[in-house]
């Protein structure tokens, strides 16, 4: 039996210092696409986020584009009295992703998808289906995804106006005649987004942050609101939302400045209108934007002014912590280590670097290495022409995940027409090719076997890690390659370190894995 087969809100424009609680998801030079309904279309939170990214990465700021569309949802549902069919993001999502080619997508949907009615299981199912489709479309392209909860509905400003309808109202509910407890409906939609959905890299709980701010503000002022109509938040609400999204993305909140914000918002509005026209949509009444070339020229002119303003700000912005995909500058004289792996390895990369500080230069490809099929085609680029002393590598969780007949990601296992992304037989063949190429580097090779699939993980089967690990072990034994048994190591503390119904690990879990990887590498450097 193989070894791993184990026996068991601020309104004032001032200087702020909010520390992010996650590793940076957005890297210098990344392309960031924000999609959503009228909240995103208003764009203030996008401008705030863009401003922070400009401050954090002044020499190579990410390109942030707002593609929010008023009235949009993920279901295609509309209230009967809506003046036109609500647009469905899926009508334009593929075009947006293919044309803009983002590295990160930030999406916020939900407030329109309940169509302002009392809770309906049918509508809720349509929402979950629409979100799942959005996730699949984004992850099919290996794009990082930040999913925001919907913002809360605030009935306070509408009380006594006749615009809130009780449950037994005969009139159709609509955005101008809203179910009086719609905040509870949207709360259930927010709960769903919070459930660590497979394929979502980060979740921004804007529902809770805005709610908490309203509660705090209403202690001295019971009538305080951040939304005149209960739905569309004002600039103060957008600031809370932006801080929440920045925190989820691991972006420190360092500077607030009205002039800088105004310059950034001018840029984001020009790009918003241009890209809406470029991608196309079905919502009537939207003005045409400028051609992309012209809009980007105007944006660059604004960037010059933004950079000048940033240089003039005091205190100077703090340097961001390099993310796991950031390039590493070698310390001369130290051995060079290459980590190859998927999002699990991305999660522990920084922990390995910290553990091996002043011991080794720890590098990794600036991507999710995915299945063995990707390894076969891209391995040469990852290795490059540099000398490596140790290469620690893994493939498996992407190979064993199930796909639909038309390439649908994380499909239902064992359903007719569905299949693992890479069969066991092809997995072994691909590993043979990968190992043969890696041996040519002259580096010490360490195979890290695949971590467990927990019960309830979408698109994967409990126990398949063992099957694929057994197949991989045959290859590694044949080539006398060291095995870092991460399967048993993580299985022993699985419920404590792995997210529920998710192959990914908590922050503490990634640190736990990183210790094991660092130790395996350290032993081979002796």
Residue 211 is predicted with a pLDDT of 95
Residue 317 is predicted with a pLDDT of 52
Residue 22 is predicted with a pLDDT of 62
CATH code assigned at 419: 3.40.50.1110
User: Are 297 and 367 contained in the same domain?
Assistant: no
pLDDT tens-digit map of 132-174 = 999 999 999 999 999 999 999 999 999 999 899 999 777 788 8
Residue 175 is predicted with a pLDDT of 86
**What is the mean predicted confidence (pLDDT) over 354-368?**
95
Residue 342 has pLDDT above 80, yes or no: yes
User: Are 340 and 291 contained in the same domain?
Assistant: no
Distances (CA, A) of 79 to 66, 114, 299: 26, 9, 37
User: Are 271 and 220 contained in the same domain?
Assistant: yes
**What is the mean predicted confidence (pLDDT) over 67-79?**
96
Please give the residue that has the higher pLDDT: either 22 or 127.
127
User: Are 294 and 343 contained in the same domain?
Assistant: no
User: Are 270 and 346 contained in the same domain?
Assistant: no
Residue 388 has pLDDT above 70, yes or no: yes
**Which residues face 20 on adjacent strands?**
none
Residue 16 is predicted with a pLDDT of 34
Residue 441 has pLDDT above 60, yes or no: yes
User: Are 362 and 506 contained in the same domain?
Assistant: yes
User: Are 292 and 410 contained in the same domain?
Assistant: no
Q: How far is residue 186's CA from residue 189's CA, in Å, rounded to a whole number?
A: 5
Name the residue among 251, 145, 247 with its Cα closest to residue 205: 247
Which two three-digit tokens encode residue 205? 């709980």
Residue 1 has pLDDT above 60, yes or no: no
Asked if the structure places residue 320 within a domain, the reply is no
The dihedral through the CA atoms of 351, 355, 358, 362 has a sign that is negative
State which residues form the domain around 520: 336-525
Residue 236 has pLDDT above 80, yes or no: yes
The domain tally of the chain equals: 2
**Residue 516 exposure: Cα atoms within 13 Å on the Cβ side:** 20
Residue 315 is predicted with a pLDDT of 55
User: Are 365 and 237 contained in the same domain?
Assistant: no
Residue in this structure with the two tokens 């601020």, named with its chain if needed:
10
Q: Which residues of 359-396 are buried (b: 16+ CB within 10 A; e: fewer)?
A: bbbbbbbeebbbbbbbbbeebeebbeeeebbbbbbbbb
Asked if the structure places residue 321 within a domain, the reply is no
Residue 318 banded pLDDT, cuts 50, 70, 90? low
Which two three-digit tokens encode residue 341? 């792996």
């Amino acid at each position: 039996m193989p070894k791993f087969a184990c026996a068991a809100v601020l309104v004032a424009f001032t200087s702020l210092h909010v520390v992010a609680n996650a590793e940076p998801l957005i890297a210098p030079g990344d392309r960031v696409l924000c999609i959503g309904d009228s909240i995103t279309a208003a764009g203030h939170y996008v401008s705030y986020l863009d401003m922070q990214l400009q401050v954090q990465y002044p020499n190579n700021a990410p390109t942030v584009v707002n593609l929010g569309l008023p009235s949009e949802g993920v279901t295609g549902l509309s209230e009967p009295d809506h003046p036109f069919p609500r647009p469905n993001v899926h009508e334009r999502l593929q075009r947006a992703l293919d044309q803009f080619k983002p590295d990160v997508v930030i999406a916020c949907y939900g407030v329109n998808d309940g169509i302002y009615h009392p809770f309906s299981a049918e509508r809720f199912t349509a929402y979950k289906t629409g979100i799942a489709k959005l996730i699949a479309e984004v992850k099919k392209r290996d794009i990082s995804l930040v999913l925001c909860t919907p913002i809360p509905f605030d009935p306070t400003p509408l009380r006594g106006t006749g615009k809130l309808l009780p449950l037994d109202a005969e009139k159709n509910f609509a955005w101008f005649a809203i179910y009086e407890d719609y905040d509870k409906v949207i709360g259930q939609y927010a709960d769903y987004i919070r459930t660590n959905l497979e394929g979502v890299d980060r979740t921004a709980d804007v529902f809770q942050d805005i709610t908490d701010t309203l509660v705090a503000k209403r202690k001295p002022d019971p009538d305080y609101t951040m939304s005149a109509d209960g739905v569309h938040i004002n600039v103060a609400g957008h600031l809370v939302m932006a801080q929440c999204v920045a925190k989820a993305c691991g972006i420190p909140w360092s500077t607030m400045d009205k002039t800088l914000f105004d310059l950034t918002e001018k840029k984001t509005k020009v790009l918003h209108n241009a890209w809406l026209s470029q991608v196309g949509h079905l919502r009537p009444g939207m003005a045409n934007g400028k051609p992309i070339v012209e809009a980007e020229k105007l944006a660059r002119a604004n960037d010059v002014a933004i950079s000048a303003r940033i240089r003039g700000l005091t205190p100077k912005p703090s340097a961001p912590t390099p993310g796991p995909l950031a390039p590493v500058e070698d310390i001369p004289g130290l051995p060079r280590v290459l980590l190859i792996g998927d999002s699990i390895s991305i999660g522990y990369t920084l922990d390995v670097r910290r553990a091996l500080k002043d011991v080794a230069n720890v590098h990794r490809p600036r991507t999710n290495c995915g299945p063995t099929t990707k390894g076969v085609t891209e391995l040469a680029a990852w290795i490059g022409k540099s000398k490596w002393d140790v290469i620690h590598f893994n493939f498996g969780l992407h190979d064993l995940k199930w796909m639909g007949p038309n390439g649908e990601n994380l499909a239902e296992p064992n359903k007719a027409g569905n299949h693992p992304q890479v069969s066991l037989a092809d997995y072994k063949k691909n590993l043979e090719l990968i190992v043969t190429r890696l041996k040519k580097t002259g580096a010490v090779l360490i195979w890290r076997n695949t971590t467990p699939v927990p019960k309830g993980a979408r698109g994967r089967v409990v126990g398949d890690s063992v099957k694929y690990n057994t197949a991989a072990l045959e290859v590694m034994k044949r080539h006398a390659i060291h095995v870092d048994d991460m399967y048993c190591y993580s299985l022993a503390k699985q419920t404590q370190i792995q997210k529920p119904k998710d192959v990914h690990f908590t922050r503490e879990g990634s640190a736990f894995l990183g210790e094991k990887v660092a130790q395996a590498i350290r032993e081979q450097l002796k």
